[in-house]
Structure 1
Amino acid sequence: MNMEINPSNYKILIVDDVVANVLLLKVLLTNEKFNIATASNGIQALEQVKNEKPDLILLDVMMPDMDGFEVAHHLKKDPEHKDIPIIFLTALNSTADIVKGFQAGANDFISKPFNKEELIIRVTHQISLIEAKRIILSQTEELKRTIVGRDKLYSVIAHDLRSPMGSIKMVLNMLIINLPEDKIGEEMYELLTMANQTTEDVFALLDNLLKWTKSQIGKLKVVHQDVDMVEVVQGVIEIFTMVASLKKINVRLVAPEEVAVYADIDMIKTVVRNLLSNAIKFSNENSEVLVTVENREGMVFVSVQDHGCGIADENQTKLLHTDTHFSTFGTNNEEGSGLGLLLCKDFVQKNGGELWFTSKKGEGSIFGFNIPLKK
């Protein structure tokens, strides 16, 4: 291991009932600049571990009253000290004793009478493992803090941008309703339609980003209530009627009168909204998007089927993975972030269900989810 170890940062506890052994070990290890604590029997060793908090223990096996194996046994039962590495000092070389030592929690063995170089190498090896572990732990903590900080920042950005974006979206919606094509001409109407679509997409993305980051930093709690799934799906379809009609897409719903579930209505709406938005985005003009709500085996199944461009087999495995954030362009080159599906997966799981999909390149896709019915 090519890491620089500063021995003065480490304390080694030497436990041996023979004073000469303790002194010899102390001299050898002090020369190497390690801090040293000592104990002359098992009981004293356990006290010293509590008082001195050593990083490594050199533990003699053959001691009166309490042998080294017993000391190790006590330490390994104690959550506070169980991770301190132990090197047994032993005159025993039989396989049975070595096996017993490792069962007692030994990290290594040094045979008596010991060789100075071997002792230093074995001690340094254990210390370097501790150092590596500490580096990994500190880096992990730092990484966790960075991720939480990043997610909080995303959350603030999404929150602050969502409001002005919502205002622009409303203005464009009003303009498109009140300025028909015959009044402003085909080109202007097309620009207005494009601007309207872009703001809808950006607003949806910010909404997803806000919910995703809140969910990641644990600020989004699942609030269960009685929900009629059919009503939720109908509500989302109504919102998308205009977007769908711009691409001449018919959204058709096949569902029973009502299906009662006990779920978080906002999360379920977000999932349906994302799946429907994707289906429209990846559908060809003059095609149909079929939304079905089914009640079977104690679950409600909601699926959204499009007859669009579909997803190539090699790309299907990339979907729903946090690390890939995989996305493709829609049939009118609409851009996606890959975040929507990750959010859907997260929200469906938080409501006790699963998200799934099937797709064939050139034929279209079906994305669906299930959640438990109301008991």
Structure 2
Amino acid sequence: METLNQFSKLFVLDIRNILGLLFWGNFALATLVFTFRLTDSSKDNKTHLLVFGCSKIFQSFAWLAFFLRTDTSAFNPINIIIPNTLVFASYYLESIAMLMMVKDSSKKAHRIQALLFAIVLLSFYYAVWIKAEANIRVALASLSIFLLLIIPALRFLTETRSSLFKKILGFNYIILLLTLIFRTIYSLFYTKTSLYNAGPTQNIMFLIIFLMMIISGVGYLLLLQEEKEIQIKKLLGDKDKFFSIIAHDLKAPFNGIIGLSELLLEKKDHCDNDENNEFIQLIHQSSKNTYSLLENLLTWAQSQTGSIEFSPKKLEIISVADKTINLLANIAQNKNIAIRSQIEKNEYVIADRDMLETILRNLVSNAIKFTQTNGEVLLSMTRENNQTVFSVKDNGIGISPEKSAGLFTIDQKHSTFGTNDETGTGLGLMLCKEFVKKHGGKIYVESQIGKGSDFKFSIPNSF
């Protein structure tokens, strides 16, 4: 019994000391996050760190406001609204940072959090306006924080590609959520709830919140570092595959050009004009194919290093489609393939012009490559669920389901010959995926062997 009494003294802390711990803890975490952002962050997580760091700054000032607030019996709405608004804002920003850690987190989830934040603020302000009892306000505040964190915490735990460390961080938030639920219920039944006259139960709850705050803050930085290391390993792997493409697929067409030109030089005095023209056409076509491959290689390399500027603007789609058709008209004409566009005037999309042109050029070029003589390639677009969906459809040889699954990754090598033995690496499709992803859209293919392929990609109507 004596041991139990001694142990209970661990939780006998003045509430202002606990508020001081919460202030200094959050302030130290904010300093650590912003230092990490300045010294060791990547382009991908700079915004994430900014949001999470601001959440800790807001929370530190919130606990400072609670610490400085005078505990009197007089009802002062300003003293109530300011610190609680800072607390709600901090947990809202933290929930956004959590969503940013979840792969494929949709814009809809972010909008739901923003709406929930607005509802939380209005509900609490209404409780202050009607002069609700202190225990009701405490219960409402705890429930509000619970509602702001519940969806991101569940996304953490249920994400299929979640790492073990991310799951541990998710369970940390679950403990915090359980504490908030207990505090909500406790405040409703303990009618004399007062922040500055707290018993051991209240102190324990605040200490749990402090502990969870420290774990989540440090955990975030460790998790970001882990993801950065994973990304570095992926980039190194992609680099090796990239060089293998250069070594094999860029070398081969140059060997063809050199071989044809040597043959032309050796037989120039023994060949008639028709034979010479045939050699020249082969060299010319091989040179164009090599240039196209080199262009894609350089553009893809730039996209991996982040050196391509992304400048989305309002574009008339038909101008981009017509430019693509005109650019590839000669190649299509050599195979007597008709390129038709069903895109009408006065149709607009918000996109980066250079990237959109690159996407369409690669998709149409591939369609021509894998379509037989006298075939057809069709460009079209539709509006679906606040998205503009583009389609490049052909009636060519089609793609098997096994090959369709890995078309847009560098993990598998694609060197299928076209209907006229045209060569390719599949790098153009990877480039398309990179640029579509940059716009916040998706790219996919619907295909049947012998019936053709339909490559589709979406671009959101707004960013």
Q: Taking structure 2 as the reference length, what is the TM-score of the superposition?
A: 0.44
Aligned equivalents of 1:145, 1:321: Cα separation in 2: 12
CA contact (8 A) 1:230 1:293 kept: no
How far is 1:321 from its partner? 2.0
Q: Deviations over 1:138-194 (max 9, x none)?
A: x9599659839959x97xx9xxx9xxx9xx9xxxxxxxxxxxxxx942x33333332
Instruction: Indicate the residue corresponding to 1:247 in structure 2.
Output: 335
Aligned equivalents of 1:149, 1:363: Cα separation in 2: 33
Matched, 1:199 2:287: yes
Q: 1:261 aligns with which of 337, 349, 369?
A: 349
Instruction: Indicate the residue corresponding to 1:20 in structure 2.
Output: none
Instruction: Indicate the residue corresponding to 1:234 in structure 2.
Output: 322
Q: 1:314 aligns with which of 399, 402, 418?
A: 402
How far is 1:288 from its partner? 1.2
CA contact (8 A) 2:313 2:350 kept: yes
Aligned equivalents of 1:237, 1:343: Cα separation in 2: 19
Greater share of residues in strand = 1
Aligned equivalents of 2:10, 2:377: Cα separation in 1: 80
Matched, 1:214 2:293: no
Aligned equivalents of 1:142, 1:256: Cα separation in 2: 41
Aligned equivalents of 2:231, 2:444: Cα separation in 1: 35
Instruction: Indicate the residue corresponding to 2:458 in structure 1.
Output: 370
Aligned equivalents of 1:145, 1:306: Cα separation in 2: 34
CA contact (8 A) 2:338 2:374 kept: yes
Q: 2:380 aligns with which of 288, 292, 314?
A: 292
Change (3 A) 1:322 1:250: same
Q: Which residue identity is paired with 1:245? A: Q
Aligned equivalents of 1:65, 1:374: Cα separation in 2: 54
Aligned equivalents of 1:149, 1:328: Cα separation in 2: 20
Query: What pairs up with 1:1-375 in 2 under 5 angstroms?
Result: 140=229, 147=236, 150=239, 184-185=273-274, 187-373=275-461
How far is 1:342 from its partner? 0.8
Aligned equivalents of 2:352, 2:231: Cα separation in 1: 33
Q: Which has the larger radius of gyration?
A: 1
SS in 2 for 1:359: strand
Aligned equivalents of 1:337, 1:149: Cα separation in 2: 14
Aligned equivalents of 2:430, 2:419: Cα separation in 1: 21
When structure 1 is superposed on structure 2, of 306-315 and 270-279 the one drifting more is: 306-315
How far is 1:366 from its partner? 0.7
Q: Which residue identity is paired with 1:188? A: N
Q: Which residue identity is paired with 1:192? A: I
Q: Which residue identity is paired with 1:299? A: Q
Indicate the percent of aligned positions where both proteins have the same amino acid: 35
Aligned equivalents of 1:342, 1:150: Cα separation in 2: 14
Q: Which residue identity is paired with 2:304? A: Q
Change (3 A) 1:374 1:312: same
> What stretches of structure 1 of length at least 5 have no aligned partner?
1-61, 67-73, 84-104, 106-132, 169-182
Q: Which residue identity is paired with 1:260? A: Y
Aligned equivalents of 1:226, 1:142: Cα separation in 2: 32
How far is 1:345 from its partner? 0.8
Q: Which residue identity is paired with 2:378? A: L
Aligned equivalents of 1:357, 1:142: Cα separation in 2: 27
Q: RMSD of the alignment, in Å?
A: 4.5
How far is 1:241 from its partner? 0.7
CA contact (8 A) 2:316 2:345 kept: no
SS in 2 for 1:147: helix
Greater share of residues in helix = 2
How far is 1:317 from its partner? 1.1
CA contact (8 A) 1:306 1:365 kept: yes
CA contact (8 A) 1:259 1:300 kept: no
Aligned equivalents of 1:305, 1:142: Cα separation in 2: 34
Change (3 A) 1:336 1:146: closer
CA contact (8 A) 2:238 2:410 kept: no
Q: Which residue identity is paired with 1:322? A: I
Number of aligned residues: 243
> What stretches of structure 2 of length at least 5 have no aligned partner?
1-6, 12-21, 33-164, 166-210, 212-221, 258-271
Aligned equivalents of 1:232, 1:224: Cα separation in 2: 14
Q: Which residue identity is paired with 1:321? A: T
Aligned equivalents of 2:231, 2:364: Cα separation in 1: 39
Aligned equivalents of 2:317, 2:363: Cα separation in 1: 15
CA contact (8 A) 2:383 2:389 kept: yes
SS in 1 for 2:432: helix
SS in 1 for 2:328: helix
Q: Which residue identity is paired with 1:193? A: Q
CA contact (8 A) 2:404 2:445 kept: no
